[in-house]
């Protein structure tokens, strides 16, 4: 029994145009990822820093100074000790922060990310006193 291909004129597979479009999309996602990743790493570092500062304890000023030292060592530029919101509800200090990071994608387009974090177990970021 011989099998005949009835679709001799029809080609199967991915066209060159489809490959180019997929490569463009993958490239754009990669560029955005490369630009956002350092900002996300800094955010994770800030979250780790406030947990360490809370564990060390001390006065508000001491915690701000401890965070500034942590920030210097870990190359954190977006948040300083004075930017931390330190509240003592119920005796135990809770530290929060919130900031925006603007990442330039092109000359006229940028991405704005709102970062926030807290040591409060409820996850509620304290409001700034400003």
Determine the Cα–Cα distance for residues 119 and 84; give it in Å rounded to an integer.
11
Q: Please write the tens of the pLDDT for every residue from 8-19.
A: 666 678 888 999
**Total count of domains within the chain:** 1
For 69, other C-beta atoms within 10 Å of its C-beta total: 12
The span from the CA of 115 to the CA of 113, in Å, is 6
Specify if 95 maps to a domain.
Answer: yes
pLDDT per residue as tens digits for the range 1-43: 566 656 666 667 888 899 999 999 999 999 999 999 999 999 9
Is residue 52 in a domain? yes
Range of the domain at 52: 16-118
Nearest to 122 by CA among 70, 87, 83: 87
pLDDT band at 57 (very low <50, low <70, confident <90, very high): confident
Place of tokens 């400003």: 130
Do the domain assignments include residue 56? yes
Is residue 102 domain-resident? yes
Evaluate whether residue 30 is within a structural domain: yes
Q: Is residue 18 helix, strand or coil?
A: helix
Inside any domain, residue 88:
yes
Is residue 8 included in any domain, yes or no? no
The reply to whether 69 falls in a domain is yes
Strand partners, 94: 87
Residues 90, 16 contacting (CB under 8 angstroms): no
């Amino acid at each position: 029994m011989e099998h005949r291909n009835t679709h001799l004129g029809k080609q199967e597979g991915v066209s060159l145009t489809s490959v180019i479009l997929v490569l463009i999309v993958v490239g754009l996602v990669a560029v955005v990822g490369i630009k956002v990743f350092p900002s996300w790493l800094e955010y994770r570092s800030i979250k780790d820093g406030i947990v360490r500062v809370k564990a060390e304890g001390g006065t508000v000023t001491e915690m701000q100074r401890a965070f500034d030292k942590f920030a210097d060592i870990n190359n954190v530029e977006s948040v300083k000790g004075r930017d931390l919101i330190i509240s003592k509800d119920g005796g135990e200090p809770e530290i929060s922060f919130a900031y925006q990071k603007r990442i330039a994608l092109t000359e006229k387009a940028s991405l704005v990310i709102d970062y926030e974090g807290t040591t409060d177990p409820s996850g509620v970021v304290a409001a700034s006193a400003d």
